[in-house]
């Protein structure tokens, strides 16, 4: 496999250990924890060129490049990050981090609980977007980064970027909020709840302690992912890609895979269920549901964002119905009301919510233009 | 053209009406040149609205606050009286909902600044007299590729202002070289720039 010259190339995952207990929003405390992270590019002497990339529901710290022993394992936002790419690692020191509660190397429900020696399982405390940002701030301290040149993310990652600007106004110079929302709608929470019920009712879930039974709730996880996946795509894109195409010329009048869309969803579900931790999925969806920075200001998003000192880029995608453009406009409107700096791109894209991961010409041009304007 | 570095003589006029610290919304802001001028030279807090992808990208490159949105859908999301100035520069003639956008501008802004090409400028009249649709400095497109959908002259616009109960606070008229015109504005003026307010 040849490596494009604008790829960051082979990367190595790192891990930081934190001994200081982390008090969580729920009231629980994590006594100690590890965060898995990766970095690309070189930190300048002043530490003023650092950019944090926050991941969404199923992402990880592996944002760009590949592992030397796994050339096919390419980072989830590789098309954005690299030397000469829109997030240019020739200029910026880019940090990806796996969130607390994750299943890619950071402390999470599948990690051993120091109190019992067994996996945390159901005992792993609920983590919120605010908690993640607190943990990420400690990673910033660890890396000697006083203030991020930018914090960016898509979807749930965009919510973290927004939370950063609110929680640590003096530590974020630019905030890039892509395909996100200031809080989920009831419909959105409803999708998450169906996904959670699929996992929670799987007999192999064992109340979250399936590790000790040597099983995994793959059926529930698979269903959760199939449902989620539908909501990340657009009707147009599905029609174009699959339509009513069938595998055979004539219908079989049974329940085996027949329509191409069925085959695709089952494949996606199986693939995801093969590696993702069910408890992490539950936690991530709950973090999405709980996210509501305006709650502390009586539902007033303007007041919540008034603390922010960052300049903002907000972007949405025309066919994204899970995090629709109007939700991004809520953020933009609140910022304009406050007299804050914001650029907003509402991008035409066929790929629904997943558009934020795609390499669209206008999208990437907007990202490049905005990021080029950030001083280091 | 004039000595205006941006090549947009109406920009200097508009900028002169904006005081430091005031909030400005520029509708159809293009590449954000006016926003940049207002923010950098006048110390204003400025945002722009633009629909076209290429312009939005250019505005982001210019480092200004651009919001990608369709003006024909109104200014929902902007609050009443949120801005000291709302600017619509050389764009009114491209919009279908003429009264609608003016009403929206008057809703969100204290002062409304509108500039438009004067269809009754003498060179345009000459073009019509010679049997052709005018193409000029301020009407630069051919009939088949013009974005303009409304063709009107200075008195027409002022009739509409009266009908809408709008006060004309200031009016400046420029010829096609960007020089101020005082006599016979509807004949000698190629571009009109107005500053309006709600109510009589």
HEC assignment per residue over B129-183: HCCCCCCCCCCCCCCCCCCCCCCCCHHHHHHHHHHCCEEEEEEEEECCCCCEECC
Size of the A and B interface in Cβ pairs below 8 Å: 51
B154 Cβ under 8 Å from any chain A Cβ: no
Spatial separation of the C-alpha atoms in residues A101 and A107, rounded to whole Å: 6
Question: Cα(A330)–Cα(A335) distance, rounded to whole angstroms?
Answer: 9
Does the beta carbon of A343 lie under 8 angstroms from any beta carbon of chain B?
yes
Asked if B53 and A344 come within 8 Å (Cβ–Cβ), the reply is no
Contact A366 B67 (CB under 8 A): no
pLDDT digits 0-9 by tens, A144-178: 999 999 999 999 999 999 999 999 999 999 999 99
Report the DSSP pairing between strands A342-347 and B23-27: unpaired
**H or E stretch at B88:** strand B83-89
**Taking the CA of residue B162 as centre, how many other CA atoms within 13 Å lie in the half-sphere pointing to its CB?**
6
Could you tell me if the ipTM is greater than 0.90? yes
Q: Do B64 and A372 touch (CB under 8 A)?
A: no
Q: What's the pLDDT score for residue A3?
A: 84
| Whole-number percent of chain B with pLDDT over 70 | 96
A123 is catalytic: no
Does residue B71 sit within a domain?
A: yes
Q: Is the dihedral of CA A337, A341, A346, A349 positive or negative?
A: negative
Which residues 55-94 of B are in CB contact (within 8 Å) with A? 56-57, 59-61, 63-69, 77-79, 82
A343 touches B66 (CB < 8 A)? yes
Number of domains in chain B: 1
Asked if residue B41 is part of any domain, the answer here is yes
Q: How many C-alpha atoms does A34 have within 13 Å on its Cβ side?
A: 18
Q: Is A353 a catalytic residue?
A: yes
**Which DSSP state fits B28?**
T
The answer to whether position B118 is within a domain reads yes
pLDDT the model gives residue B199: 83
Q: Is B11 on the interface with A (CB under 8 A)?
A: no
* Residue range of the domain that includes B185: 9-198
Q: State residue B13 phi and psi, 5-degree precision.
A: -60, -50
A313 contacts in chain B (CB < 8 Å): 60
The CA-based angle B97-B53-B91, given to 5 degrees, is 30
Rounded CA separation A229/A352 (Å): 10
Mean pLDDT of chain B: 93
Give chain B positions within 8 Å (CB) of A373: 60-61, 63
- Taking the CA of residue B38 and the nearest CA in chain A, the distance in Å comes to 14
CB B69 within 8 A of CB A336: no
Strand partners, A343: A313
Contact A95/B at CB under 8 A = no
The low-confidence residues of chain A, meaning pLDDT below 50, are: none
- Residue-level pLDDT at B143: 94
Q: Establish if A313 touches chain B: CB-CB under 8 angstroms.
A: yes
Residue B3 counted as domain residue: no
**Tokens of residue A15, six digits:** 């891990």
Share of chain B above pLDDT 90, in %: 90
pLDDT tens, position by position, A114-128: 899 999 999 999 999
* Contact flag A333-B78 (C-beta cutoff 8 Å): yes
Beta-strand pair B180-181/B166-174: antiparallel
Look up tokens 């009107």; give the residue. B152
Which pLDDT does position B137 carry in this prediction? 86
| Host H or E run for residue A40 | strand A33-40
The reported pTM is 0.95
CA distance B65 to A334: 14
Q: Is residue B108 assigned to a domain? A: yes
Q: Do A348 and B53 touch (CB under 8 A)?
A: yes
DSSP helix/strand/coil, A208: helix
Residues forming a β-bridge with A315: A178, A345
Residue A235 is among the residues annotated as catalytic for this protein: no
Q: Which residues of chain B neighbour A372 with C-beta distances below 8 Å?
A: 61
DSSP symbol at A172: B
pLDDT value of position A2: 76
Band of residue B10 on the pLDDT scale cut at 50, 70, 90: confident
How many Cβ atoms from other residues are within 10 Å of residue B123's Cβ? 16
State residue B5's pLDDT score. Answer: 42
Q: Find the angle CA(A253)-CA(A256)-CA(A260) to the nearest 5 degrees.
A: 95
Residue B6 has pLDDT above 70, yes or no: no
Longest dimension (CA), chain B: 49
- B147 assigned to some structural domain: yes
Helix (H) or strand (E) holding A159: helix A156-167
Q: Does B23 touch chain A (CB under 8 A)?
A: yes
Residue B104 lies in a domain: yes
Residue B7: predicted pLDDT? 58
Contact predicate A184/A128, CB 8 Å: no
- Give the Cα separation of A14 and B19 in Å (integer): 52
pLDDT at residue B24 in the model: 98
Contact status of A337 with chain B (Cβ, < 8 Å): yes
Q: What are B108-160's pLDDT values in tens digits? A: 999 999 999 999 999 999 999 999 999 988 899 999 999 999 999 999 999 99
Residue A339 contacts B where some CB pair is shorter than 8 Å: yes
Q: Which of A313, A343, A368 to mutate to test the interface with B (most CBs of B within 10 A)?
A: A343
DSSP SS3 for A199: helix
Q: How far is CA A81 from CA A50, A64, A92, A255, in A?
A: 13, 6, 10, 43
Interval B10-25 mean pLDDT: 94
pLDDT for position B200: 65
Neighbours of A211 (CB within 10 A): 18
- Residue B69 maps to which CATH number? 3.40.50.150
Q: Which of A331, A336, A374 to mutate to test the interface with B (most CBs of B within 10 A)?
A: A336
How close, in Å, is residue A317 to chain B by CA atoms? 11
Chain A residue numbers touching B78 (CB-CB < 8 A) = 333, 336
Option in A336, A337, A343 nearest B60 (CB): A343
- Using the beta-carbon criterion (under 8 Å), do B64 and A343 form an inter-chain contact? yes
In a domain, B1, yes or no: no
Q: Do B65 and A342 touch (CB under 8 A)?
A: yes
Q: Is A348 helix (H, G, I), strand (E, B) or coil?
A: coil
Q: pLDDT tens across B80-100, in order?
A: 999 999 999 999 999 999 999
Whether the pLDDT of residue B4 is over 90: the answer is: no
């Amino acid at each position: 496999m040849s490596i494009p010259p604008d790829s960051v190339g082979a990367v190595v995952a790192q891990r930081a250990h934190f001994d200081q207990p982390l008090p969580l929003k729920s009231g629980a405390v994590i006594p100690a924890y590890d965060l898995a992270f990766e970095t690309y590019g070189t930190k300048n002497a002043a530490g003023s060129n650092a950019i944090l990339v926050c991941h969404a529901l199923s992402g990880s710290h592996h944002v760009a490049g590949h592992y030397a022993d796994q050339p096919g394992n390419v980072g989830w936002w590789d098309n954005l990050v690299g030397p000469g790419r829109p997030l240019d690692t020739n200029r910026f020191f880019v940090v990806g981090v796996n969130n607390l509660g994750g299943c890619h190397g950071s402390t999470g429900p599948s990690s051993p609980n120091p109190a019992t020696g067994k996996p945390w399982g159901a005992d792993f405390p609920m983590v919120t977007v605010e908690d993640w940002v607190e943990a990420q701030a400690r990673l910033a301290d660890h890396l000697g980064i006083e203030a991020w040149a930018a914090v960016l993310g898509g979807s749930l990652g965009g919510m973290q970027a927004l939370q950063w600007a609110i929680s640590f106004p003096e530590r974020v110079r630019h905030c890039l909020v892509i395909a996100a929302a200031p809080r989920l709608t009831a419909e959105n929470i409803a999708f998450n709840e169906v996904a959670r019920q699929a996992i929670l009712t799987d007999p192999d879930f064992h109340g979250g302690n399936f590790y000790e039974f040597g099983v995994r709730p793959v059926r529930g996880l698979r269903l959760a992912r199939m449902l989620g996946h539908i909501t990340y795509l657009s009707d147009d894109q599905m029609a174009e890609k699959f339509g009513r195409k069938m595998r055979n010329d004539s219908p079989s009048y049974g329940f085996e895979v027949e329509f191409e869309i069925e085959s695709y969803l089952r494949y996606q579900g199986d693939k995801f269920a093969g590696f993702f931790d069910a408890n992490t999925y539950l936690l991530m969806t709950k973090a999405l549901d709980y996210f509501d920075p305006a709650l502390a200001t009586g539902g007033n998003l303007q007041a919540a964002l008034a603390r922010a000192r960052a300049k903002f880029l907000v972007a949405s995608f025309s066919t994204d119905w899970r995090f629709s453009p109007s939700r991004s406009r809520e953020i933009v409107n609140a910022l304009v009301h406050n007299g804050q700096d914001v650029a907003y791109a509402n991008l035409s894209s066929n790929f629904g919510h997943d558009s934020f991961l795609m390499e669209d010409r206008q999208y990437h041009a907007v990202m490049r233009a905005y990021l080029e304007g950030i001083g280091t | 053209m004039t000595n205006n570095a941006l090549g947009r003589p109406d920009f200097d006029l508009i900028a002169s009406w904006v005081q430091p610290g005031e909030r400005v919304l520029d509708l159809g802001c293009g590449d954000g040149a006016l926003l940049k001028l207002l923010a950098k030279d006048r110390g204003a807090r400025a945002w722009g609205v633009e629909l076209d992808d290429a312009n939005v990208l250019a505005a982001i490159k210019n480092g200004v606050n651009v919001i990608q949105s369709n003006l024909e859908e109104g200014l929902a999301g902007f609050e009443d009286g949120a801005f000291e100035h709302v600017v619509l520069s050389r764009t009114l003639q491209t919009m279908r909902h003429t009264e609608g956008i003016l009403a929206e501008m008057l809703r969100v802004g204290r002062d409304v600044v509108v500039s438009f090409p004067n269809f009754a400028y003498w060179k345009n009249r000459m073009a019509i007299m010679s049997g052709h649709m005018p193409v000029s400095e301020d009407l630069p497109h051919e009939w088949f590729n013009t974005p303009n959908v409304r063709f009107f002259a200075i008195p027409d616009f002022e009739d509409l202002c009266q009908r809408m109960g709008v006060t004309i606070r200031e009016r400046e008229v420029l010829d096609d070289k960007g020089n101020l015109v005082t006599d016979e504005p509807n004949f000698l003026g190629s571009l009109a720039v107005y500053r309006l307010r709600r109510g009589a």
